[in-house]
């Protein structure tokens, strides 16, 4: 009984902690999806277009002109005929049409990792709040991609 109530208290403390920390928590989650989704391979660790030379080069997303819906579509559906892969689970089916296509993935369309609707939304939100329009990278912005660590070696070159 006593240990059960301790557990409940611990759960409450953790729950409240997460709620208080939610803005940065949401951003960290977006950055995690960025890293785990393989976006960094082509677009660079900080989405600035300086990806791994072993992969096709993706553009600098800090300079994208796309609004929310087109940004989401590019990520979910990819760009047929280019190196931009699709990432929505079930893309190009009736459940998740892409460019009006429901009959399956068109030829020359690259496949990326399958992201859930929620992961896609979180990633798009992260790109809109922390990447698009931020061509000049600050230490704090770099830290978002490095677990929130302002002292991360990868961020040392950026101004505070
Ligand atoms: C294999 C390389 C590769 C990977 C992996 C990749 N991209 Fe791309 N991405 C590209 C290329 C190349 C383009 C340019 C496509 C074109 O010519 O229209 C692009 C275009 C985009 C665009 C459109 C930009 C604009 O302004 O038109 C967005 C947004 C984007 N990528 C986001 C992402 C995200 C988010 C991920 C990870 C979930 C990702 N990409 C993974 C290569 C890649």
Q: Given this model, what pLDDT does residue 6 score?
A: 58
Our count of domains for the chain comes to 1
- Which of 59, 81, 86, 125 maximizes ligand 1 atoms within 8 Å of its Cβ, making it the mutation to test the pocket? 59
Rounded Cα distance, 131 and 68, in Å: 13
Please name every residue paired with 115 in a beta bridge, in sequence order, or none if there are none: 88
Rounded CA gap, 88 and 85, in Å?
Answer: 10
Which of 32, 33, 41, 42 should be mutated for ligand 1, with most atoms under 8 A from CB?
42
- Across the chain, mean pLDDT equals 89
Predicted confidence at residue 25, as pLDDT, reads 54
Whole-model pTM? 0.86
Rounded distance from Cα 58 to ligand 1 centre (Å): 5
> Where in the sequence is the domain holding 40, given as residue range(s)?
2-155
CB 131 within 8 A of CB 47: yes
- Three-state DSSP class for residue 86: strand
Residue at 25 is within a domain: yes
pLDDT at 75 over 80: yes
More confident residue, 7 or 70: 70
The rounded Å distance from CA 19 to ligand 1 centre is 32
Cα 8 off chain centre by? 33
Is a pLDDT exceeding 80 seen at residue 139?
yes
d(CA 25, CA 74): 25
Helix pair 22-36, 2-20: axis angle to 10 deg: 80
Is residue 160 in a domain? no
* Beta carbons of 138 and 160 less than 8 angstroms apart: yes
Q: Is residue 13 part of a domain?
A: yes
Query: Which residues are registered as beta bridge partners of 101?
Result: 98
| Residue whose CB lies within 8 A of the most ligand 1 atoms, among 41, 58, 60, for a mutation test | 58
* Residue 123 in this model has a pLDDT that exceeds 90: yes
Say whether 118 sits in a helix, a strand or coil.
helix
pLDDT over 70 percentage in the chain: 82
């Amino acid at each position: 009984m006593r240990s059960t109530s301790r557990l409940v208290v611990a759960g409450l403390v953790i729950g409240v902690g997460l709620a208080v920390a939610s803005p940065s928590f949401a951003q960290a989650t977006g950055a995690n999806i960025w890293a785990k989704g393989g976006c960094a391979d082509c677009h660079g660790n900080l989405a600035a277009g300086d990806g791994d030379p072993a992969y096709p080069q993706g553009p600098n997303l800090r300079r994208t002109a796309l609004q929310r819906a087109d940004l989401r579509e590019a990520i979910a559906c990819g760009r047929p005929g280019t190196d931009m892969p699709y990432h929505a689970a079930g893309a190009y089916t009736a459940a998740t049409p892409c460019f009006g296509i429901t009959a399956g993935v068109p030829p020359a369309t690259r496949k990326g990792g399958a992201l859930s609707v929620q992961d896609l939304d979180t990633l798009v939100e992260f790109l809109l709040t922390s990447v698009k329009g931020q061509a000049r990278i600050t230490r704090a912005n770099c830290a978002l991609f490095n677990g929130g660590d302002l002292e991360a070696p990868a961020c040392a070159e950026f101004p505070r």
